[in-house]
């Protein structure tokens, strides 16, 4: 299970707004699906769990250029701050609804004041709406045709509003229709982006496919019957569990793939990238023997952000896990004293692993799991117990179900409730004995730390040593612009007055 969190020695940590696009989604071309994805939704949309589309063209310097500069940690916070929506959402307004306006207007006083041009324009909107809904319902022409027809419909609506300012009743209904069009277009574009992402997973190592994706991640994402299970394990197989989970939370194949990829071990490069930490990424590259360690940072940044964005989109659909979870790690005495104190607030600025099974966390403290710390200076064993942490249970998706993994979301804040010193080597004598037999050094001191969720502490106000001094810029990497609305859609519409397992290297 991935290592992470601010209190672990190898942090595993992450993830991510809408201006209505004015250009149709580009078709997949010779430059590959990743570039097409950028063209379809723009850099921020990709990082923002594919929740919106900006419709911007690809930069000549390459696909997803300067992704972190465009989104970075703010993007993750954006994905956390708003609920996710279904991939497809058919508009509420129908052609028949608009038809009622026609009959009402025509009957009353013989449609006095309604010019033939106005009637013709309104009829054109009704027909365009009927054509789009027929295309969407039957799936004809693919997503690109749907986007094109939505674009045409929106343009007709804009023209009607501009040319017929006196028809207040119809203008009001058309404005409502435009709201539906904006939401529908974001949803359709999101669906196309997910298809392109899944294609890049399936085409791993080929033109247009992901380059850094691990073998375990690729196999787990493309073959849901692949899993690492205990001999004689009972219960539903992984593919059956995933099927049930998809039905319960309306998860897409792309979202399942991204969560699988992350938990399978690809977190090693995903988290430093999305945390925008070049030093962390370089450290991970030096420590790994996996092929991704030889890739350039630009490729890792592009792909890592894509994986995290899609994973966050899926995680946000899953209900928070309500019970206790556990994390295990080793620290130097100095690090321990600096991190844990009753009343201290700490945060997880990255996706961080925890387990519903205390035994799994203990394995990391005693060095019984691959990736556990072997640093002889880290003599303090810490078992962290989190209550109602709001994490997401991904054990039904992960390749190793027995690890009972619960992912803690970035941006979560916790208060240290208690720090209890115990004789852990006696309490967990079996673990200590197994570690000794394997030649693993035992902790010389042991603590159980309990955390509870808390609110983000208030930021300190900038000091103003003299009158007229400007306040310092916020250093909070998760600060969100005030204008960002649900799914990043700016509520103020233009021109309108409204507002990843066989070798785990993580710590619990």
Distances (CA, A) of 156 to 96, 126, 160: 17, 10, 6
Structure tokens at 112: 């006095």
Distance CA 246, CA 67 (A): 29
Q: Quickly state the pLDDT bin for 136 (edges 50, 70, 90).
A: confident
Percentage of the chain exceeding pLDDT 90: 41
Residue 80's H or E segment, with its range, is helix 73-81
Whether 106 contacts 133, CB under 8 Å:
no
Whether 191 contacts 88, CB under 8 Å:
yes
Distance CA 196, CA 35 (A): 10
Whether 89 contacts 187, CB under 8 Å:
yes
Q: Quickly state the pLDDT bin for 487 (edges 50, 70, 90).
A: very low
Task: Tell me what the pLDDT averaged over the chain comes to.
Answer: 74
In this predicted structure, what is the pLDDT of residue 101?
Answer: 56
Structure tokens at 118: 């106005």
Average pLDDT over residues 195-219: 94
pTM over 0.75: no
Phi-psi region of 72 (alpha: psi -120 to 50; beta: other; left: phi over 0): left
Residue 98: pLDDT over 80: no
Whether 305 contacts 46, CB under 8 Å:
yes
Find tokens 């902790």 and name the residue.
Answer: 443
* Pairing relationship of beta strands 445-453 and 380-387 according to DSSP bridges: parallel
C-alpha angle 199/143/274, rounded to 5°? Answer: 45
Structure tokens at 436: 């000794």
Task: List pLDDT tens digits, range 412-456.
Answer: 899 999 999 999 999 999 999 999 999 999 999 999 999 999 988
Distance CA 49, CA 52 (A): 8
Alpha carbon dihedral 500, 501, 505, 507, in 10-degree steps, equals: 80
Whether 77 contacts 16, CB under 8 Å:
yes
Task: List pLDDT tens digits, range 352-387.
Answer: 889 999 999 999 999 998 767 778 899 999 999 999
Question: Which of 11, 6, 19 is CA-nearest to residue 488?
Answer: 19
Average pLDDT over residues 171-200: 88
Distance CA 205, CA 214 (A): 10
Phi-psi region of 232 (alpha: psi -120 to 50; beta: other; left: phi over 0): left
Distance CA 132, CA 342 (A): 59
Question: Which of 309, 53, 15 is CA-nearest to residue 192?
Answer: 53
């Amino acid at each position: 299970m991935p290592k992470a969190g601010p209190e672990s020695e190898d942090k595993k940590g992450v993830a991510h707004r809408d201006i209505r696009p004015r250009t149709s989604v580009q078709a997949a071309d010779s430059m590959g699906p990743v570039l097409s994805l950028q063209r379809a939704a723009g850099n921020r949309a990709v990082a923002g769990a594919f929740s919106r589309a900006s419709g911007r063209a690809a930069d000549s310097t390459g696909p997803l250029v300067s992704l972190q500069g465009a989104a970075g940690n703010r993007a993750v916070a954006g994905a956390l701050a708003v609920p996710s929506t279904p991939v497809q959402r058919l508009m509420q307004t129908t052609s028949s609804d608009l038809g009622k306006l026609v009959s009402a207007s025509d009957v009353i006083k013989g449609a006095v004041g309604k010019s033939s041009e106005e009637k013709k324009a309104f009829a054109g909107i009704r027909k365009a709406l009927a054509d789009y809904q027929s295309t969407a319902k039957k799936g004809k022409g693919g997503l690109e045709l749907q986007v094109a027809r939505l674009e045409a419909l929106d343009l007709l609506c804009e023209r009607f509003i501009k040319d017929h300012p006196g028809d207040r009743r119809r203008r009001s209904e058309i404005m409502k229709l435009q709201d539906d069009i904006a939401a529908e277009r974001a949803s359709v574009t999101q669906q196309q982006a997910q298809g392109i992402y899944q294609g890049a997973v399936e085409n791993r190592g080929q033109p247009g496919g992901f380059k850094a994706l691990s073998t375990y991640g690729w196999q787990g994402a493309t073959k849901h019957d692949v899993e690492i299970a205990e001999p004689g394990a009972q219960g539903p197989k992984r593919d059956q569990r995933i099927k049930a989970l998809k039905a319960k939370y309306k998860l897409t194949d792309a979202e399942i793939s991204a969560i699988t990829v992350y938990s399978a071990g690809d977190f090693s490069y995903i988290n430093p990238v999305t945390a925008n930490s070049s030093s962390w990424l370089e450290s991970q590259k030096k420590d790994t023997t996996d092929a991704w360690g030889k890739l350039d940072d630009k490729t890792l940044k592009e792909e890592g952000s894509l994986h995290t964005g899609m994973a966050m989109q899926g995680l946000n659909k899953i209900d928070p896990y309500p019970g206790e979870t556990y994390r295990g790690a080793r620290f130097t005495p100095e690090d321990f004293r600096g991190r844990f104190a009753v009343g201290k607030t700490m945060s997880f600025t990255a996706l961080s692993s925890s387990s519903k099974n205390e035994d799994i966390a203990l394995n990391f403290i005693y060095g019984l799991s691959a990736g556990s710390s072997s640093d002889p200076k880290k003599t303090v064993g810490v078992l962290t117990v989190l209550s109602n942490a709001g994490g997401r249970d991904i054990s039904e998706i992960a390749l190793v179900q027995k690890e009972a993994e619960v992912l803690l979301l970035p941006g979560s804040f916790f208060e240290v409730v208690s720090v209890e010193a115990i004789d852990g080597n006696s309490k967990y004598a079996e673990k200590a004995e197994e570690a000794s037999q394997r030649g693993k050094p035992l902790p010389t001191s042991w603590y159980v730390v309990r955390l509870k969720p808390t609110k983000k502490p208030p930021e300190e106000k900038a000091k103003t040593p003299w009158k007229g001094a400007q306040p310092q810029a916020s250093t909070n990497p998760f600060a969100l612009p005030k204008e960002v609305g649900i799914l990043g859609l700016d509520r103020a519409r233009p021109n309108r007055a409204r507002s990843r397992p066989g070798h785990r290297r993580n710590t619990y």
